[in-house]
Structure 1
Amino acid sequence: MTTITQATTLTAAQRQETALNSRKQIASNFQDFLKLLTTQLQHQDPTAPLDTNQFTQQLVQFAQVEQQLATNSHLERLITVQETTQLTALTPLIGRTVEADSGKIALQGGEARGSYTLRADATAVTVTIRDSTGRVVAQGPGQTRAGRQEFFWDGVSASGQRWPDGAYTVEVQAQYGSSLETVPTTVIGRITGAERADGTLKLAMGDLRIDTTAIRAVQPDR
């Protein structure tokens, strides 16, 4: 074939909503407690004033609720700072070539690379690439030797059509005798950006987004 050659959690919005609801609940309790205490002081019997020990306990509770509000606010700011720091720490990867676990490949500048690992020598290997609609845009044989194998796609289909840069789904199937297995794949490409999406740090490889935890290797600058 001429065109294929042989890195549960809550989202950021959910965390923000949860924190906001928590603050509202505590603030509501805080205001209710304050109203109750004020009303109690206003309507106490002058001949039988509020017991000193009970009043002291209520003041302590009042202070604890107020402190909890302040603590939650500080924790939210610390989380925001931590997430920003983590995002900034990914900056050195921009422009570097990395390999990451992925069921997709990134066509960048008319080139896409990936790899797969065979547990043993295979009878045959087929690499299939599909677009976002699931349509097959390229298909061809892959290396059958055991171990890690790389594949390359030049962005051209068997009919000669050149496909635009973007993210494409890749599937590698290995034939072991009478058994057909789908083999996990990786993507190899240049990092073009970093972002935080759905509460998770992501690296951009053109139009493809990959989790930082999926990274297997970072290649040295050439």
Structure 2
Amino acid sequence: MTTTPGAAAPTATGTASTAVAESKKATVDYESFLKLLTAQLRNQDPLAPMDATQFMTQLAQLSTVEQSMRSNDTLGQVLDTLKSSGMRMDMALLGRKVEVESDQLSLSEGKAQAAYTVDGTPASVKLEVLNGAGAVVYGTSGSLQPGRQVFDWTGKTSAGATAPDGLYTLRVTAKDKDGKALTAATVITDTVAEVRSVDGATKFVLKNGATVGSDAVLSAS
């Protein structure tokens, strides 16, 4: 897995420390229960010994505590295995082209492309390209046809200047005939440059510099 300085990736030391702490806590609970039961038997009144039914109930409780500890250990191992397996599957996308749901538009040598879809029948569609500061540098009308539409940008701004290469944001605003806003989704295609694990979740860093979660990946080729 490719790592990048500053990424909030979990460390093996931190994971191991947590597991040890949890194991110690469970052991303390189990040993405390056992000591309490032993002390109760040692200090009971010989003339009024513990009721057999009560004693069997406490033994059953002790057995339940032990089984719970073992179950927790087993579940922890299964979870670790699943996480490891999932990361290996995500690593398989490294270097491959993926189609992801993202509004991050990459301009390189006068070329930028994205696709978008509108949920419903639009009466108006406005496409705007925003720079890193959030300012609109280019705007145009989008297609009113249903289904997936492609947006190509040459890097020319609305003022006629040439925008520098880099990462921009594509904003799609669609409304129906009654002026009600319609949901729009934007899709880009790029190559996975890095795979990171951030707080237990997989993040893909695309070649254009955008970072998306694994749930944003729609397809791969």
The two structures share one fold, judged by TM-score above 0.5: yes
Residues 116, 150 of structure 2: 8 Å contact kept: yes
Flag the 1:175–1:58 CA change in 2: closer, same or farther, 3 A: closer
* Deviation of 1:43 (Å): 1.1
Residues 106, 205 of structure 1: 8 Å contact kept: no
Secondary structure of residue in 2 paired with 1:191: strand
Report the equivalent of 1:146: 146
Task: Give distance in 1, aligned partners of 2:180 and 2:38.
Answer: 76
* Deviation of 1:72 (Å): 0.8
**2:87 maps to 1:92:** no
Task: Give distance in 2, aligned partners of 1:34 and 1:140.
Answer: 75
Residues 87, 195 of structure 1: 8 Å contact kept: no
Report the equivalent of 1:77: 77
* Deviation of 1:204 (Å): 2.5
Task: Give distance in 2, aligned partners of 1:180 and 1:128.
Answer: 19
Residues 102-138 of structure 1 show CA distances to partners (whole Å, capped at 9, x for unaligned) of 3x22527565432112555756x43222244423344
Residues 99, 187 of structure 2: 8 Å contact kept: yes
Task: Name structure 1 gaps, 5 residues minimum.
Answer: 1-11
* Deviation of 1:89 (Å): 0.9
* Deviation of 1:76 (Å): 1.4
Letter in 2 for 1:160: T
* Deviation of 1:153 (Å): 4.0
Residues 122, 145 of structure 1: 8 Å contact kept: no
* Deviation of 1:141 (Å): 4.4
Q: Which has the higher contact order (CA 8 A, sep 6+)?
A: 1
Flag the 1:21–1:180 CA change in 2: closer, same or farther, 3 A: farther
Letter in 1 for 2:82: Q
Task: Give distance in 1, aligned partners of 2:107 and 2:90.
Answer: 20
**Any residues of structure 2 matched to 1:47-126 within 5 Å, and which?**
47-102=47-102, 104-107=103-106, 112-118=112-118, 119-120=120-121, 125-126=125-126
* Deviation of 1:48 (Å): 3.1
Report the equivalent of 1:193: 194
Task: Give distance in 2, aligned partners of 1:26 and 1:122.
Answer: 62
Secondary structure of residue in 2 paired with 1:93: coil
Secondary structure of residue in 2 paired with 1:63: helix
Report the equivalent of 1:212: 214
Secondary structure of residue in 2 paired with 1:90: helix
Q: 49-58 or 175-184, which moves further after superposition? A: 175-184
Task: Give distance in 2, aligned partners of 1:169 and 1:34.
Answer: 62
* Deviation of 1:85 (Å): 0.3
Identity of aligned residues (%): 28
Letter in 2 for 1:46: P
Residues 128, 171 of structure 1: 8 Å contact kept: yes
Task: Give distance in 1, aligned partners of 2:40 and 2:175.
Answer: 80
Count of residue correspondences: 200
TM-score when normalising by structure 1: 0.69
* Deviation of 1:205 (Å): 1.7
Task: Name structure 2 gaps, 5 residues minimum.
Answer: 1-9
* Deviation of 1:60 (Å): 2.2
Residues 72-109 of structure 1 show CA distances to partners (whole Å, capped at 9, x for unaligned) of 1221121111011011112232222222223x225275
TM-score when normalising by structure 2: 0.69
Task: Give distance in 1, aligned partners of 2:75 and 2:154.
Answer: 49
Residues 1-29 of structure 1 show CA distances to partners (whole Å, capped at 9, x for unaligned) of xxxxxxxxxxx9xxx8x999987875564
Letter in 1 for 2:213: D
